[in-house]
Amino acid sequence: MQPALETKGLVKRFGALPATDNVSFRLEQGARHALIGPNGAGKTTFINLLTGVLTPSAGQIFLEGADITRLAPELRVQRGLARTFQINQLFPAMTPLETLGLAVSERMRAGNDWWRVMGSNSAVIDEIVTLARRFGLMDVLGERTSNLPYGKQRLLEIALAFACRPRVLLLDEPAAGVPEAERHELLAIVAALPREVSVLLIEHDMDLVFSFASRISVLVNGALLTEGGVQEVASDARVRAVYLGESLDA
């Protein structure tokens, strides 16, 4: 089967330093795949290459078989590649209602509509409601985003990416900084993402990786060290060496 997302020989150099070093990677359809690696391993650079924030020095990126290496970031989103951010990237002065309405309108190609009031399209409203239910945002739709509890902001962060109806969703440390009390809800929602969406999880938290992913890739110094099933990777001596026994026994 055609992979959902694939890179071939992807390289990104900053000066002489390769931040991404010849990465050939496959994300299968419907995958729950985790990308792990120590700090500075180049995970964020890799994501930025996939989403088009950075242009690769060499190599290619394919989304469902189509070459998107040179495609503008917003066009990749329109083709079904969405991401969340490790540090919330929201619209602080807008409400979740407006935020989701915006993303849904854009996805329906209504973003150029400058005459009709947002909210007058019932299809948009229905979808906002569906999204808000799925991500537990129903109670806070009308509040200013900057006033939301951190856990809710984190959910909005994911809901916003999900509102783009991605075929491939890149989750960049979705649980980062979420207090224990709000963590359970978030993890349950992430676990319940529909199977037809292929998910690549970039994560530090090994508990989350092990509970969520069925495949793991390990990135070290910009290059793929190994890839395999959860048990396989967890018992890999090189991976253990990289992590110096760090919580991998969990």
Partner 1 sequence: MDQTPAATNPIAAQLTRRGRWGIGEILFWLIASAALFLLPERLLFLNEIAILGLFAVSLDLILGYAGIISLGHGAFFGLGAYTAGLLTKHAVTDPLLGLLVAAVAAALLGLVTSFLVLRGADLTKLMVTLGITLVLYEIANQAAWLTGGADGLQGITVGPLLGVFEFDLFGQTAYAYSLAVTFVLFVIARRLVVSPFGISLRSIRENPLRARAIGIPVNRRLVAIYTLAAAYAGVAGALLAQTTQFVSLDVLSFARSADVLLVLVIGGIGYLYGGLIGAVVFKLLQDALADMTPQYWQFWIGLILVVIVMAGPERLTERAASLWTGSLARLLGRLRQPKAMPARET
Crossing angle (nearest 10°) for helices 150-162 and 180-191: 20
Closest by Cα among 89, 25, 30 to 56: 25
Q: Are 61 and 2 in contact (CB under 8 A)?
A: no
Give yes or no for a contact between 178 and 151, defined as CB atoms under 8 angstroms apart: yes
- 147: exposed, middle or buried (Cβ count in 10 Å: 0-12, 13-18, 19+): exposed
Stretch that binds partner 1, among 17-25, 113-121, 177-185, 239-247 (CB under 8 A): 113-121
Do 80 and 166 touch, CB atoms closer than 8 A?
A: yes
- 135: its two tokens: 């991500």
CB of 22 to partner 1, least distance (A): 26
Residues 1, 16, 66, 117: which binds partner 1 (CB under 8 A)? 117
Say whether residue 94 binds partner 1 (CB under 8 A): yes
Residue 143 in contact with partner 1, rule: CB under 8 A: yes
Least distance (Å) between residue 31 CB and partner 1: 21
Give the nearest distance from C-beta 19 to partner 1 in angstroms.
19
Residue in 34, 41, 63, 82 binding partner 1, rule: CB under 8 A: 82
| Smallest gap from residue 71 Cβ to partner 1 (A) | 12
Q: Return phi, psi of residue 21, to 5°.
A: -120, 95
Q: Measure the CA–CA gap between 11 and 25, rounded to whole angstroms.
A: 12
Is 103 a binding residue for partner 1 by CB under 8 A? The answer is yes
Q: Contact between 149 and partner 1 (CB under 8 A)?
A: no
Number of residues that bind partner 1 (CB under 8 A): 52
Binding site for partner 1 (CB under 8 A): 51, 72-75, 77-78, 82-83, 85, 89-94, 97-99, 101-103, 105-107, 110-122, 124-125, 128-129, 138-143, 160-161, 163-164
